[in-house]
Structure 1
Amino acid sequence: MRLDQIQMRDPFVLKEPSEGRYYLYGSTDPDIWQAKGIGFDVYRSRDLEEWEGPFPAFRPAPDFWADRNFWAPEVHAYKGRYYMFATFKADGVRRGTQILAADHPLGPFRPLSDGPVTPSDWECLDGTLHVDGDGTPWMIFCHEWVQIKNGAVCAIRLSPELDRAVSEPVTLFSASDAEWVEPVSSPKNGTGYVTDGPYAYRCTNGELLLLWSSFKQGRYAQAVARSASGGVLGPWTHEPTPLFESDGGHGMIFRSFDGKILLALHTPNRTPDERPVFIELAEEDGRLSVCDS
């Protein structure tokens, strides 16, 4: 299969050097909004052009707590295993990010944490792993706008085993802190400012950037924030314009085997037309830009 044949939101690429392969994960249920959750599929490739799959990376056991909104799986290699951070929801349970684990990128992934690691009384989504300079693991995630109106990006320290939170959450910034972000409205949730899809990226000069997504002029857009301290707690400042604003976002960055810096995101931001795309980036002095095509 090619990327334009794969319906997927929130694409995430794991590069596995030992196999010379890339693994592509994302929100792969045909209807992630209303239908009962099916699970997460994964595709694999050697050249980023032709993809094998789908393979079932995660399917819920009959007693799994969540039944909907299976969103945004990320898979990270960490201490010899593979850890999936993914968002789930059920009636009477706040949306949150749970951590799952497997011995191979294809899975099967099984729950590691006891339910969501995000605060139980918060509506949260899109948890991502960040390991800081001294080896401490953090989960960066979004406190959702549907609950607090001005969506926030937050961080919480994890245990060395990645199975639980070991600190209180810290708010890193709010959506409206970026000057270009504009509010969205829905009949159910009213009006507010969106934060989606955080992903930490360490530049070659040591600067720490954070990708996240919001809306500009009604279109999904890819934002970039910068840590003044070089650490996860910031303080964070925001690039004055989006990195990508053509109705696409929820991005992450990876390096191809031939050394290219690639931004993976989905576009357009509408179901069922969303597709994963890879966009080559240039990095200079801690700044990212889209390469001329």
Structure 2
Amino acid sequence: MKKVLWCVLCLFSIICISAFDKGKYTNPLPVKFGDPYVLLASDGRYYMYGTDAGAVDGFCAYSSDNLIDWKPEGQVYRGNIPGSWAVANFWAPEVYERNGKFYMFFSADWKENPTNELENFRIGVAVADKPTGPFKEISDHPLFDAGYPAIDGNLLQDTDGRLYLYYSRCCYKHPVESEVAAWAREKGMFNEIEESWIYGVELKPDLSGIIGEPVLVLRPPVTNDDPQAEWESRSVTSGEVNRRWTEGSYIFKKGSVYYMMYSANYFGGKNYAVGYATAKQPLGPFVKSANNPVLQKNVEKGGTVTGTGHNSVTYSKDGKQMYCVYHGRTKSTGEERVVFIDKMGVDDKGNLYVEGPTTTTQDMR
């Protein structure tokens, strides 16, 4: 009898420990994505998409019930096929569920390139009946053409039902005068500094195009005494590259406030980091937070993580906990971009915070 009781207790302990462990995880996740985006679909499962060096002219996906255990779903979209406008450099997919369909916004090189631009990126839309695809482009041309390369499409459906698209104008052929640019010239580092800026524009309800002209909503600081200048200029001031980025936007609304998270600095370097800005209207004006950056490398504090950026936001299934999903690098992963998930939130004073980057064991809730 004692032996049976002991076996029962042992089994009970194993079950309890196993259940408890299911709520724990350690960053980085075993997913090699840049620009990760997570959708909590109406079927109750999470789906992750991202820039994937392993995909052939497109994107792969993963699925999960708990944000911890991720199942590969294979390639869910492929471009560079007959009828496709997109031919190369497939980046930053985001998927939205609308009216029983799944719509993927993504960036890629446009096949129409009469002037042979080195960066000919545009944003397009593909649709599928399931979050695992197959996604097919809704048109044989990009969503719009602003006359310059555009990437990192991000969608907001406002409480009034109107849709807004946010994207980044690339640095390519976009030199901008600023005090940082003047400083770099004086130091003999760079002759000019190119910048990427974030724009917003209303979107047609059927996702077939834009309404009106894009509005500039965020850009790097112009003066060196701007509180954001130091962290947003590190790629330049470190001598890394002659560009300043404002990209990878993710917008959400909490109460009456619009929160736009964004990434600055070179996406391939250690200084990539995340800040945020707030506004009272979907197209601004946006004001950057005094608490920026809210997510950045931790090597100066004894950690191993660098290059944290291009995040998305997802929620626990009960909607109570926010999670920041982003890519980064560690000493062990090298130059490979890998996925991190950390808790985040907005405090009672309206300040956004991210509890990361972490590499120790975490409770998912």
Report TM bin, short chain.
0.7 to 0.9
Q: Which has the higher strand share?
A: 1
Q: CA deviation at 1:287?
A: 1.6
- The partner residue of 2:106 within 72, 86, 92 is 86
Instruction: Within 5 Å, give how 1:1-293 maps onto structure 2.
Output: 4-17=29-42, 19-30=43-54, 38-60=57-79, 62-63=81-82, 64-90=84-110, 92=113, 94-148=120-174, 149-176=194-221, 178-179=228-229, 180-182=231-233, 184=235, 191-203=242-254, 205-215=255-265, 219-227=271-279, 230-240=280-290, 241-246=292-297, 247-258=307-318, 259-268=320-329, 272-285=335-348, 286-291=350-355
Contact 2:85 2:142 in 1 (8 A): no
Residue 200 of structure 2 aligns with an amino acid whose one-letter code is A
Compared with structure 1, are the counterparts of its residues 175 and 30 closer, same or farther at alpha carbon in structure 2 (3 Å cutoff)? farther
Contact 2:62 2:74 in 1 (8 A): yes
- Number of aligned residue pairs: give it: 280
Compared with structure 1, are the counterparts of its residues 182 and 118 closer, same or farther at alpha carbon in structure 2 (3 Å cutoff)? farther
Q: Give a deviation string over 1:78-126, Cα, whole Å, max 9, x none.
A: 2332111100015627211111111111111111144222425211100
Q: Which has the higher helix share?
A: 2
Q: Give a deviation string over 1:203-259, Cα, whole Å, max 9, x none.
A: 2x33110011002995100111111xx222111111132110112010111111143
Ranges in structure 1 where 5+ consecutive residues have no aligned partner: 32-36
Contact 1:30 1:272 in 2 (8 A): no
Provide the identity percentage. 26
Query: Whole-Å Cα distance in 2 between the matches of residues 132 and 5 of structure 1?
Result: 34
Ranges in structure 2 where 5+ consecutive residues have no aligned partner: 1-25, 175-193, 223-227, 298-306, 357-361
SS of equivalent to 2:221: helix
Which has the larger Rg?
2
Which TM-score applies when normalising by structure 2? 0.71
Residue 160 of structure 1 aligns with an amino acid whose one-letter code is P
**C-alpha RMSD over aligned residues:** 2.5
